[in-house]
Structure 1
């Protein structure tokens, strides 16, 4: 499938493609970007959901108030969210090296990307869950629902549309972060922009990467908005 795509793109773009960048390299970079976004979104989403639920239920007005857990976890999430991604990328290099055995490449970039997007998604998910009408929670409690049932059968389904829109926002932010990860050899579209566009003064590559990123963002936003409207 990949070879067919490369061959087709090569034939289509051959009349006007005059860059030092090959179509094969471009497809590889696009594949690496998808890989970074997909796995970081999965790992970060799981981490973010766990954070959001813990913060939701342990807050002072939550289902299971616990000041100790809430006041320990809340500043940790805030601290991780406040770090610029490029600094976080460098700061976690020893941890990345220990975890995946290398500090460069696509899989190495997934580690800081997950650490970056996890707290961000956690806050977005928490915001969506807090938007649920308290009357729904009170009704669930009056029916004898357990905290687990209240969260997964009442709060999460009710917050569905808001969750999808916030996850769309997080995905778009993650796409931008993968481009920045190219600065440290993570691969992907960002690496092309730096290695071929900036360092080799090939403006056509820079324009291409910008167009590709814009298209990806538009696709994600359109898909997210459409899914949020479904019932």
Structure 2
């Protein structure tokens, strides 16, 4: 009981925790939305232009898949985050804070999510695509009326996995001025060896991940009409 009382009266937690939570949610929210908006069409394009795809284009597929997606995914996030500081400063005018961190988070997550989208679309039986074409559907209609709806449960699961990954990346972003729970854990939990701060931030990150996974699983089951 004494430990809990000391924990809830710790000034570092009282003053630092609320803004850290807000910054983490801000980073995760902005980068997750941008990742879905950019990664979904990129994943669809990867599927469509692949060898044997609906609009096969080997040159475009080579540029997007082995070069852009694979190379970007091969960079450890900590290195990518530092390398993107000039771009981040150019885009948002600063290299620190949750908005700045959202740039590197998005660039790191988009190729990852795009690959999940491509994989989800590949799992759709080719007969459904052939049937759509036989009924006169255009490529865009096949994508919007057949591919995406059929893959929706898997896509939701992919979004959930991506957001959970972004939560982990956001903690690392705090080490170089991104803010959030990662910065609080590093500045006070590690550098000052405030064990209470470290424990609380880890618990909050675990709760956030569990909540995201729970919501994602519920939505995935709700949209699964197979």
Aligned: 1:31 with 2:22: yes
Cα distance per residue 1:140-190 (max 9 Å; x no partner)? 000010000000110000001111111111111000000000100111010
CA distance in 1, matches of 2:187, 2:21: 15
Structure 1 match to 2:121: 129
Aligned: 1:192 with 2:180: no
Structure 2 match to 1:206: 198
1:159 to 130, 151, 154: 151
CA distance in 2, matches of 1:193, 1:217: 17
Would you say the 8 A contact 2:13–2:197 is kept in 1? no
1:41 to 15, 21, 32: 32
CA distance in 1, matches of 2:93, 2:174: 18
CA distance in 2, matches of 1:101, 1:33: 20
Cα distance per residue 1:8-45 (max 9 Å; x no partner)? xxxxx867424341424211110110110111011111
- Equivalent residue runs for 1:96-111 within 5 Å: 96-111=88-103
Cα distance per residue 1:96-148 (max 9 Å; x no partner)? 11111111111110110010001011001111111111111011000010000
Would you say the 8 A contact 2:8–2:14 is kept in 1? no
Structure 2 match to 1:150: 142
Structure 2 unaligned regions, length at least 5: none
Structure 1 unaligned regions, length at least 5: 1-12
SS where residue 212 of structure 1 aligns?
helix
TM-score normalised by structure 1 residue count? 0.91
Q: How many residues align?
A: 219
Would you say the 8 A contact 1:55–1:73 is kept in 2? yes
2:41 to 32, 47, 50: 50
What is the root-mean-square deviation in Å for CA atoms of aligned residues? Answer: 1.3
TM-score normalised by structure 2 residue count? 0.93
CA distance in 2, matches of 1:226, 1:15: 37
Measure how far apart 1:51 and its partner are: 1.3
Q: Decide whether aligned partners of structure 1 residues 201 and 18 sit closer, same or farther in structure 2, where only a CA change above 3 A counts.
A: farther
- Equivalent residue runs for 1:212-227 within 5 Å: 212-227=204-219
Measure how far apart 1:55 and its partner are: 0.8
CA distance in 2, matches of 1:197, 1:24: 14
Moved over 3 A (4+): 13-16
CA distance in 2, matches of 1:132, 1:82: 27
- Equivalent residue runs for 1:82-101 within 5 Å: 82-101=74-93
SS where residue 97 of structure 1 aligns?
helix
CA distance in 1, matches of 2:97, 2:156: 30
